[in-house]
Amino acid sequence: MKKNYKKMICLFLGVIILTMAQPVFCSAWGPPKTEDEEKFLEWYEKHKNDQNAVYTLTGDLKLTKGTKEDPIRFDGRGKVRIDCGNHGIIVNSRVIIDNPELTISGNYMFVLMENSIDSHLILKRGTVLDESDDACAVQVIRGTLQTSSDPSDRFTIQMKGKDITGIYHGTDEPLVLRQINVTAKGKGRVEGVKNNRNQTLSLTDCNIKVSGDQEACGVSNLGRTEVNRCRITASVSDASGTAVSVAGSEISSRDSKIVPEITGMKNTVYSIYDVDSFTPVIGRTGTDLKSLLPQNASVYVENAETEEKSIISMPVIWDASGADTSKEGITLVKGRLLTKDLFGIYINSSGISPETAVIAVPPEGMFLNSYRILSKEEGRIRGMLELPYPAGADSMILQYSADQKNWRTYEEKNGSTNIIRGQDFPKPFGVFSFVFDIPVNTKTFYMRTKVHGSSIFSGTSAVWKIDVDHGAPESSVSGESGGDRGGQTVEQEESTQKDQRSEGKPGYSEKSVRYKDKNSFSDQKSEKSQNVKKNGSSQRQEKKKEKVQGKKTAPEVQDNEKQTPKTSGWGRNAKSYDKGDLVFAAIGILLIFGAALLLGRKFFRKKNLS
């Protein structure tokens, strides 16, 4: 009889133990926690232009909402960091990374992964950091990986650890990489780019540097490898180790610097015939705007042998000695193209040189660069204002007054008060000229502007005194004509100051920035990158309008039933569980077991007494 009771008690305790341990087992070996995609995307859109904004993942982030027509965009101009920690970002839709100040960091087996036939990751500008063993910063199992065709863009991958790879590509489609920097340093086997299929791998304008103790390989490919204008370096610290710059079944290299060297390298002669325009450098007065001048220029060149036209990124050294950013103004600066360290030989017989503008903006925002009185009739004045274009603004209105108290808003003939309505960004220097016609009976009157939107020019400007009998005959852009600035700033009335405070400058950092207007210069860049046509000859200005036939991106994998290739070291381990949960569960189990044991002993004691 006692044996039967003991069996029943053991069975009862087993059921209790399994019941108590179930939540712990589910927590330890259940599905990994995922980040709220909607919440994350809202956060990024809100903070993409902020400085030192940080988002820390608490689980894997799956990006599923991007489409071909409306992709997920990590753009903006703010210094933003996404800290993945022990998690990763899984791209299951169309995603574009295009923020030069964005850093995505992690310390797990991958930072970015594509593992769906709907995955389409486009790397334009940004940085990925991964410091973990057995890691791959960008891993492509299924889907499409694409890089920018704009030579001024550059995406950076930095890695540190043991047995690491910068980019792993495992689909059955050719891989084309442009403007990619990969730096990997560690122990074991260190690889920059690995293509695990017998497909063509093409690299253009890429910098790949890997170093390890035993094995280092810059580019590893099972198929044909094409290297154009690239720097690829592989090195090992152990004298008995192996360093390979490029490994593939067939390798071709042109205008590249490769260490250790491979055969097949050639030098090409190019003729420089044009250079792309720049976005002006815009920032507050008193800040170091010169340091924000672009380091590279998009240069149009022609192959002297084949007459093939292309666009390359070329270093620039600027002469900004005439730019006085301590006070408001627009200064044109010129640069010089550096060809010494480039791949191939470049001839600049036309003396092509880049130019851009440095615009120093006062605390009030908009300023009057110069003005000119065009005509004076009885009771009316017709003149022209020269202003910096308020990049990023939604609207700008012009007001005028004879006494600084009674202000009237200028209206155009169509009734619009927004004087920048329908205006594109004035290329290339951001100088906006506006002709006004107003009723004025005095020899002097006053003007000001109000700028609305997320712009460094937002708010109410200072008041400008306009002399009817005076006006700068030419532009006062420094470095262009050096004309006299006609407008005078006067003290604003208390009401004006209140307007300024109420207007404010929402969403814009006081720090100096190099503004990139997505509706102007980014469009200009994408247009210009297509405006070169192969094997044609025309005048210099016509050459800029010729189209480049860009390569189509690799089509997505159609077979959704394909198995994920088995690769050593790339799989994601099971999630680690909270040790605290196990401790509490164990304590609970022990308490229940002890209570059951005491009850059992009392039960058997009563039986024996009876």
Please compute, for residue 608, the number of CA atoms within 13 A of its CA located in the half-sphere on the CB side.
Answer: 7
pLDDT per residue as tens digits for the range 571-599 = 333 334 445 555 566 666 776 767 666 66
Calpha distance 500→489 (Å, rounded): 15
Percent of residues, the chain, with pLDDT higher than 70: 71
Minimum mean pLDDT range among 252-261, 323-332, 481-490, 549-558: 549-558
Full DSSP string of 31-95:
PPPB--HHHHHHHHHHHTTSEEEEEE-SSBEEE----SSS-EEE--SSEEEEE-TT--EEE-SEE
List CB contacts of 52: < 8 A, sequence separation 6 or more.
79, 81
Domain-terminating residue out of 410, 445, 467: 467
Range with the lowest mean pLDDT among 258-272, 370-384, 401-415? 258-272
| pLDDT value for 531 | 43
Query: Would the pLDDT of 12 be above 70?
Result: no
Residues of the chain by 3-state class (helix, strand, coil), percent to 5: 15, 40, 45
**265 vs 587, residue with greater confidence:** 587
Q: Is residue 148 in a domain? A: yes
Do 131 and 216 lie in a common domain? yes
| Mean pLDDT computed over 94-106 | 96
Lowest-confidence region among 191-205, 435-449, 548-562: 548-562
By C-alpha distance, which of 584, 455, 425 is closest to 520? 425
Q: What is the DSSP letter of 482?
A: -
For residue 269, give the nearest of 201, 205, 349, 335 by alpha carbon.
349
- Structure confidence by residue, pLDDT tens digits, 102-127: 999 999 899 999 999 999 999 999 99
Give the domain range for residue 337: 269-361
Q: Is residue 410 part of a domain?
A: yes
Q: What's the CA dihedral at 466, 469, 474, 476 to 10 degrees?
A: -40
Neighbours of 270 (CB within 10 A): 25
**Residue 533 placed within a domain:** no
602 inside domain: no
Q: Which of 233, 259, 285 is the last residue of a domain?
A: 259
Mean pLDDT of the chain: 78
Average of per-residue pLDDT across 224-242: 89
What percent of the chain clears pLDDT 90, i.e. is strictly above it?
A: 46
Does one domain contain both 283 and 377? no
Retrieve residue 189's tokens. 């086997």
What are the residue ranges of helices labelled H in 530-569? 540-543
Residue 588's H or E segment, with its range, is: helix 579-609
Same domain? 248 vs 161: yes
Same-domain status, 379 and 255: no
Q: How many CB atoms lie within 10 A of CB 70?
A: 9
Q: What pLDDT was estimated at residue 188?
A: 87
Q: Checking phi first, is residue 507 left (phi over 0); if not, alpha (psi -120 to 50) or beta?
A: left
Q: Do residue 321 and residue 432 come from a single domain?
A: no
Instruction: Answer whether residue 501 is part of any domain.
Output: no
Asked whether residue 325 is domain-assigned, the answer is yes
User: Is 335 a member of any domain?
Assistant: yes
| pLDDT for 21 beyond 60 | no
Query: Is it the case that residue 551 has pLDDT exceeding 70?
Result: no
Could you write out the DSSP letters of every residue in 347-377?
Answer: E-TT----EEEEEEE-TT-----EEEEEEEE
Burial of 191 (0-12, 13-18, 19+ CB in 10 A): buried
Indicate which CATH number applies to the domain containing 425. 2.60.40.10
Q: For 46-91, write each residue's pLDDT tens digit.
A: 999 898 999 999 999 999 999 999 999 999 989 999 999 999 999 9
Residue 244 pLDDT grade (very low, low, confident, very high; cuts 50, 70, 90): confident
Same domain, residue pair 383 and 285 = no
Domain end call among 448, 467, 486: 467
Whether residues 124 and 273 fall in one domain: no
Number of domain units in the chain: 3
Answer whether 0.75 is exceeded by the pTM.
no
Per-residue pLDDT at 31: 56
pLDDT at residue 545 in the model = 41
Same-domain status, 247 and 156: yes
Residue 155 covered by a domain: yes
Shared-domain flag, residues 158 and 285: no
Strands 296-303, 309-319: pairing is: antiparallel
Other beta carbons within 10 Å of 249: 10
- 216/119 same-domain check: yes
Among 279, 334, 277, which residue's Cα sits nearest to residue 300?
Answer: 277
Say whether both 228 and 281 belong to one domain: no
Residue 259 forms beta bridges with which residues?
233
Asked whether residue 155 falls in the same domain as residue 176, the answer is yes
Q: Nearest-CA neighbor of 292 among 523, 53, 526, 515?
A: 515
Mean pLDDT of 401-423: 91
The sign of the dihedral angle between the CA atoms of 40, 136, 80, 451 is: negative
